[in-house]
Amino acid sequence: MIKQNSCSALGALIPSPLERIKLSHWPSDAPTVLIKRDDLIHPIVSGNKWRKLQYLPLSPTKHAISIGGGHSNHLHALAYLCHESRIKMTALVRGDYSMLPTPMLKDIQQWGCNIQFISKKRYAIRETAEFKAWLNEYFGSNIHFIPEGGSTQYALKGMNNVCLEVAQQTTRKITHFVSPVASGATLAGLISGKSDEQSVIGVAVLKGQHYLEQQVQRFIHENTSNWFIDHTFHHGGYAKTSEKLRQFIDFFQDETHVPIEPVYSAKLFYALDQMIVNKKFGLQDTVVALHTGGLQGARHVKMN
């Protein structure tokens, strides 16, 4: 058994609830739709980021360093975990927000996380040996570098648990999992955790045809079939939104009382709604939609 870090000591709601939803305009032959409410796992550590960190071996004697954007749900989750575990952490943040810190940056600073702004140029080489050399030169060798999004092999094991929990929570035969995709580790974890006959559909939240498929593939070594990424619902790109998406958020929240945000979950549910209306599923199908959380990261997005 792989050890868990103090994530589980944070008081997490595991297993996360599995709830049925049905929108009023769905056709009579719509599939059964269940939401896996990972957004409810923890009030601060966002859903899939909790799962991705759950098995990460963090050492109290090593300086944890990670990287991301100014609204990153991953940096937010990791900084809270490090704060609670009394682990020194530095967040490398793309761009310079020193004059206008985001809500995320204000939170992590309060939790004692060091913030280091880095140029777009340095951020662009974050997966190279040159970057590793810079890290060691700048921070020394007693560091634990956690890649962007917390996307490690440990993340996949955490995500596998979504499939295991769902199998325990319902007697229905699950035919599909649907999830938003950014770095691809969340989707890869569902793909490696599903059973052979189940399908996984990823909804790209950014423009990344081919690139995202490669990102997912590099996490899964076997040749697993029955998955694909839909690239038609990014609404202009990462963290971009559209009038249609804004209207959908209001409508969806009114009908289901499930909170969603425009960067990830709204794009997922918008896509799922379109797929159902366009009859991409059958009446006998049961679709599990993974609500990955992320409400903290959308605090800056003006909705009106």
Ligand X SMILES: *Cc1c(COP(=O)(O)O)cnc(C)c1O
Q: Binding residues for ligand X, per CB under 6 A?
A: 46, 48-49, 73-74, 149, 151, 180-187, 264, 292-294
The amino acid at 38: D
DSSP letter for 183, please. Answer: S
Nearer residue to ligand X within complex by CB, 60 or 236: 236
SS3 6: helix
Nearer residue to ligand X within complex by CB, 31 or 180: 180
Nearer residue to ligand X within complex by CB, 5 or 48: 48
Tell me the closest approach of the beta carbon of residue 294 to ligand X, in angstroms: 3
Nearer residue to ligand X within complex by CB, 30 or 289: 289
The residues pairing with 22 across neighbouring beta strands, listed in sequence order, are: none
Tell me the closest approach of the beta carbon of residue 29 to ligand X, in angstroms: 29
Tell me the closest approach of the beta carbon of residue 190 to ligand X, in angstroms: 10
**Residue 231: which residues within 8 A CB-CB, separation 6 or more?**
204, 207, 208, 209, 212
Rg (CA), the chain: 19
Nearer residue to ligand X within complex by CB, 22 or 207: 207
Nearer residue to ligand X within complex by CB, 49 or 176: 49
Q: What is the DSSP string of 112-169?
A: T-EEEEE-HHHHHTTTSHHHHHHHHHHH-SSEEEE-GGG-SHHHHHHHHHHHHHHHHH
Measure Cα distances from 272 to 50, 254, 289 in Å: 24, 17, 8
Q: Where are the beta strands (DSSP E) in the chain?
A: 18-21, 32-37, 63-68, 89-94, 114-118, 143-146, 176-181, 199-204, 227-230, 286-291
Tell me the closest approach of the beta carbon of residue 43 to ligand X, in angstroms: 14
Tell me the closest approach of the beta carbon of residue 138 to ligand X, in angstroms: 26
SS3 53: helix
Residue nearest to ligand X (CB): 294
Tell me the closest approach of the beta carbon of residue 232 to ligand X, in angstroms: 17
SS3 104: helix
Nearer residue to ligand X within complex by CB, 180 or 193: 180
Tell me the closest approach of the beta carbon of residue 183 to ligand X, in angstroms: 3
Which two tokens mark 116? 């280091």
